[in-house]
Amino acid sequence: MRAISVSEPGGPEVLTWTEHPDPRPGPDEVVLDVAAAAVNRADLLQRKGRYPPPAGVSEVPGLECSGTVAEVGDRVTDLTVGAAVCALLAGGGYAQRVVVPAGQVLPVPSGVDLVTAASLPEVACTVWSNVVLTAGLVAGETLLVHGGAGGIGTHAIQVGKALGARVAVTAGSAERLSRCAELGADVLINYREQDFVEEVRAATDGRGADVVLDNMGAKYLPRNVSVLARNGRLVVIGMQGGVTGELNLAELLGKCGLVTATTLRHRPVEEKAAIVAEVATQLWPLVEAGTVRPIVHEILPIERAADAHRMLERSGEVFGKLILRTP
């Protein structure tokens, strides 16, 4: 098979389309013929040598894909060769074939084509596990989503609205905020021009956000605590703004607030399987009903993976997800 190799840590130019050995499934795994893979910011970090895959996982980038089942392991009973699926991966998606634990495979939702389905597993599992399973967002609460125009953000807006929450978003331009509003965002905050703490408080009569989904990390930590409502929950899922910040414990204590940070990639296989099962039963019906839609910016040939990385690195160029289609 062919797959994207990272020749050495560096810029997008280190991504090359080269020959690799065909993967073989273990007893509880399946091999997929990949139709498409989606691009995530974690892939950019891996390319730079700053986010290596877990031990034993392919060095090929790619945390989600779609395709058809090509082989099944001896103990796999609920998946059959030829089934159209999408999958949450720990790596290996930028390839013609990938091996994945059977518990991380999802059916392609009805109404979604096979290539577009590649954009769903990582964002769906990230948003559902953090906003619902970890933070416990419920109807009537306010959800603040940082990076509302990104792949995670566009999905989180729709999930928040589907759950009956009021959704506030930050983005870097009026155009991107307008597109967030089309997805259902209620409070639109240009982070280049406005203070999100002031804007959220103004929109909630001073109460603040019940749940904050944050991709920035250290840079936003003090203000994220400030914007929390009483009993508010801050979930950090990214470190675009750095890894070390100062936490005001007195302010957090006064609000009875919660700060937590999670990642999907390095969780045990059993935990990922539980999240995938929850997504299949609770979130997929919303996708099939059209309440939550995959938001795809562009579909590129996988040989242009370097161009996709350049696009994602340029601030404000991509709205939603980028997809790499295999030959």
Domain at 95, CATH number: 3.90.180.10
Residue with tokens 């130019």: 13
Q: By C-alpha distance, which of 92, 14, 21, 104 is closest to 57?
A: 92
Residue ending a domain, among 213, 239, 261, is 261
pLDDT in tens, 135-174: 999 999 999 999 999 999 999 999 999 999 999 999 999 9
pLDDT the model gives residue 242: 87
Model confidence band, residue 284 (pLDDT cutoffs 50, 70, 90): very high
Are residues 240 and 286 both part of a single domain? no
Could you give the CA distance from residue 305 to residue 217 in angstroms, rounded to a whole number? 27
Are residues 115 and 154 both part of a single domain? no
Residue 315 has pLDDT above 80, yes or no: no
Are residues 49 and 87 both part of a single domain? yes
Are residues 132 and 232 both part of a single domain? yes
The number of distinct structural domains making up the chain is 2
pLDDT in tens, 39-52: 999 999 999 999 99
Residue 305 has pLDDT above 90, yes or no: yes
Are residues 208 and 190 both part of a single domain? yes
Are residues 19 and 46 both part of a single domain? yes
Could you give the CA distance from residue 50 to residue 175 in angstroms, rounded to a whole number? 32
Handedness of CA 174, 177, 179, 184 (dihedral sign): negative
Are residues 31 and 49 both part of a single domain? yes
Question: Chain-centre distance of CA 22, in angstroms?
Answer: 27
List the beta strands (DSSP E) in 186-305: 187-190, 209-214, 228-236, 258-261, 296-301
pLDDT the model gives residue 202: 98
Tell me phi and psi for residue 224, to 5 degrees: -65, -40
Are residues 78 and 113 both part of a single domain? yes
Could you give the CA distance from residue 133 to residue 208 in angstroms, rounded to a whole number? 21
Could you give the CA distance from residue 146 to residue 155 in angstroms, rounded to a whole number? 12
User: 277 or 243, which is more confident?
Assistant: 277
Tokens of 62: 């790619």
Residue 241 has pLDDT above 90, yes or no: no
Question: Chain-centre distance of CA 56, in angstroms?
Answer: 22
pLDDT in tens, 59-82: 999 999 999 999 999 999 999 999
Find the mean pLDDT for residues 223-240: 96
Question: Chain-centre distance of CA 235, in angstroms?
Answer: 14
- Residue 37: CA count within 13 A, CB half-sphere: 32
pLDDT in tens, 205-230: 999 999 999 999 999 999 999 999 99
Q: Are 33 and 68 in contact (CB under 8 A)?
A: yes
Could you give the CA distance from residue 148 to residue 222 in angstroms, rounded to a whole number? 20
pLDDT the model gives residue 316: 85
Residue ending a domain, among 261, 287, 308, is 261
Domain at 158, CATH number: 3.40.50.720
Could you give the CA distance from residue 121 to residue 104 in angstroms, rounded to a whole number? 9
Angle 151-162/174-182 helices, nearest 10 degrees?
40
Are residues 248 and 158 both part of a single domain? yes
Average pLDDT, the chain: 97
Q: In which region does residue 32 sit, left (phi positive, over 0), alpha (psi from -120 to 50) or beta (all else)? A: beta
Are residues 271 and 249 both part of a single domain? no
Are residues 76 and 139 both part of a single domain? no
Domain hosting 277: range is 2-120+265-325
Are residues 155 and 48 both part of a single domain? no
